[in-house]
């Protein structure tokens, strides 16, 4: 999913001392920006993206990380899955616990696509050269799932193993689409003006949770459209939504203001964990929150450091993995952390 700003965090001498749901917190990566770590169905490893310069990277590439090895060895280097060319994002492990789904720009060139001109605003780039691929454990691409003109990325897989949801602008706006696990039957399921993205399935595979912007005034709508023409999105005003897999029963879950994003269903299917800066006066303090599916019962989950995002529960519901800039020695590094989850 599109990345957010990474800022130096505050260092806590004891991880999780005020984070009652997170037990036995362990750091898995050490250096660079590491994000969007998602469990394999057997919960033994995660796929994620990193730009760690110590690994010779100039922009994000996709890796797989053995959880047990990373817990025991801080020098452990994950396995490169992507081609090493272009820019990549949004990986997810396939139902066979081997292959990895991810988006990449490598067909448009070997180099990292240049960062766009943002004129001082905080904006996300929506590269029209992104397509969705599947690679085997050795990094060989075995299938290209999208080939439409424009942005195709942010793909995740149903726990049922039958469907993929992704974001595309092929219809002229950034909307959610679904397809079969083999790439067939691609279908648009959201239609409201604004950015719809970062979607994940509910544990039973029947629903989706995602982040969305909904510009309402004429000025907001004009700004959104003008930015999209330039391949840009302003992510500073987003809320959490849910819908059925076919797009029906669309509901806005949060009405908090500012940026609410990176949602994921709690194992019960009745709550949603997400990242938000709604509480922050400065705008860059992102913490994890949890909320009931009906929009009630907001609860803060993290309190350490100034950036916590990309949470995912393990398939067995016992662990939570997320990205945080805690314990980064005052640098801008964002690392992966895993914890036992306690309700």
pLDDT at 11 over 50: no
Structure tokens, 210 = 């995602």
- Per cent of the chain over pLDDT 90 is 92
Rounded CA-CA distance 218/155 in Å is 31
pLDDT at 3 over 50: no
Tokens 């905080």 — which residue?
122
Rounded CA-CA distance 260/274 in Å is 7
In a 3-state reduction of DSSP, which class is residue 287? strand
Rounded CA-CA distance 37/46 in Å is 6
CA 65 from chain centre, in angstroms, equals 17
Contact 264, 275 (CB under 8 A): no
Contact 262, 310 (CB under 8 A): yes
Question: Where residue 18 falls among pLDDT bands split at 50, 70, 90?
Answer: confident
Rounded CA-CA distance 308/33 in Å is 12
Rounded CA-CA distance 304/156 in Å is 28
| CATH assignment at residue 291 | 2.120.10.30
Tell me what the pLDDT averaged over the chain comes to: 94
What pLDDT does residue 281 have?
A: 86
Question: Where residue 4 falls among pLDDT bands split at 50, 70, 90?
Answer: very low
Does 32 map to a domain? yes
Residue-wise pLDDT for 20-53, tens only, equals 999 999 999 999 999 999 999 999 999 999 999 9
What pLDDT does residue 282 have?
A: 76
Does 37 map to a domain? yes
Q: Which of 6-20, 61-75, 124-138, 292-306 has the lowest mean pLDDT?
A: 6-20
Which is nearest to 211 in space by CA: 274, 279, 151, 267? Answer: 274
Does 82 map to a domain? yes
Q: For residue 50, list its beta bridge partners.
A: 34, 61
Does 11 map to a domain? no
Q: How many domains does the chain contain in total?
A: 1
Contact 141, 126 (CB under 8 A): no
Rounded CA-CA distance 331/307 in Å is 13
Residue-wise pLDDT for 80-114, tens only, equals 999 999 999 999 999 999 999 999 999 999 999 99
Rounded CA-CA distance 295/240 in Å is 10
Residue-wise pLDDT for 242-289, tens only, equals 999 999 999 999 999 999 999 999 999 999 999 999 999 877 899 999
pLDDT at 13 over 80: no
Rounded CA-CA distance 89/180 in Å is 20
* CB within 8 Å of 229: residues ≥ 6 apart: none
pLDDT at 303 over 70: yes
pLDDT at 144 over 60: yes
Contact 182, 191 (CB under 8 A): no
pLDDT at 57 over 60: yes
Q: How far is CA 66 from CA 43, 317, 335, in A?
A: 10, 18, 15
Does 1 map to a domain? no
Does 86 map to a domain? yes
Rounded CA-CA distance 103/131 in Å is 5
pLDDT at 10 over 50: no
Contact 84, 104 (CB under 8 A): no
Q: How many residues does the chain have?
A: 343
Q: Which of 97-101, 114-118, 157-161, 298-302 has the lowest mean pLDDT?
A: 114-118
Domain encompassing residue 284: 22-341
| Span 10-27, average pLDDT | 71
Residue-wise pLDDT for 170-220, tens only, equals 999 999 999 999 999 999 999 999 999 999 999 999 999 999 999 999 999
Contact 186, 164 (CB under 8 A): no
Does 314 map to a domain? yes
What pLDDT does residue 6 have?
A: 38
Question: Where residue 5 falls among pLDDT bands split at 50, 70, 90?
Answer: very low
Does 10 map to a domain? no
Rounded CA-CA distance 213/66 in Å is 35
């Amino acid at each position: 999913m599109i990345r957010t700003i990474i800022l130096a965090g505050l260092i806590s001498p004891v991880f999780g001392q005020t984070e009652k749901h997170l037990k036995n917190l362990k750091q898995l990566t050490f250096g660079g920006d590491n994000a969007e770590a998602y469990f394999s169905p057997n919960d033994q490893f995660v796929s994620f993206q990193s730009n760690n310069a110590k690994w010779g990277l100039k922009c994000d590439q996709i890796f797989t990380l053995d959880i047990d090895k990373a817990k025991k060895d801080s020098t452990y280097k994950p396995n490169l899955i992507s081609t090493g060319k272009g820019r990549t994002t949004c990986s997810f492990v396939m139902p066979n616990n081997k292959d990895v789904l991810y988006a990449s720009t490598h067909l448009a060139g070997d180099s990292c696509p240049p960062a766009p001109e943002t004129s001082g605003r905080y904006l996300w780039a929506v590269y029209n050269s992104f397509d969705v691929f599947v690679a085997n454990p050795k990094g060989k691409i075995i299938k290209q799932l999208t080939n439409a003109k424009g942005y195709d990325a942010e793909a995740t897989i149903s726990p049922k193993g039958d469907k993929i949801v992704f974001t595309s602008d092929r219809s002229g706006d950034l909307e959610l689409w679904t397809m079969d696990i083999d790439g067939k039957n691609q279908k648009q399921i959201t239609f409201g003006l604004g950015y719809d993205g970062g979607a994940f399935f509910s544990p039973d595979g029947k629903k989706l949770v995602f982040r969305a912007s909904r510009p309402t005034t004429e000025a907001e709508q004009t700004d959104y459209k003008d930015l999209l023409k330039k391949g840009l999105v302003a992510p500073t005003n987003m809320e959490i939504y849910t819908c059925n897999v076919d797009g029906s029963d669309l509901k806005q879950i949060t009405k908090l203001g500012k940026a609410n994003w990176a949602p994921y269903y709690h194992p019960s299917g009745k709550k949603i964990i997400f990242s938000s800066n709604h509480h922050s006066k400065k705008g860059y303090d992102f913490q994890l929150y949890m909320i009931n599916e009906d929009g009630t019962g907001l609860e803060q989950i993290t309190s350490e450091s100034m950036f916590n995002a990309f949470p995912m529960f393990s398939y067995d519901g016992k662990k939570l993995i997320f990205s945080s800039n805690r314990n980064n020695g005052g640098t801008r590094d964002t690392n992966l952390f895993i914890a036992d989850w306690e309700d």
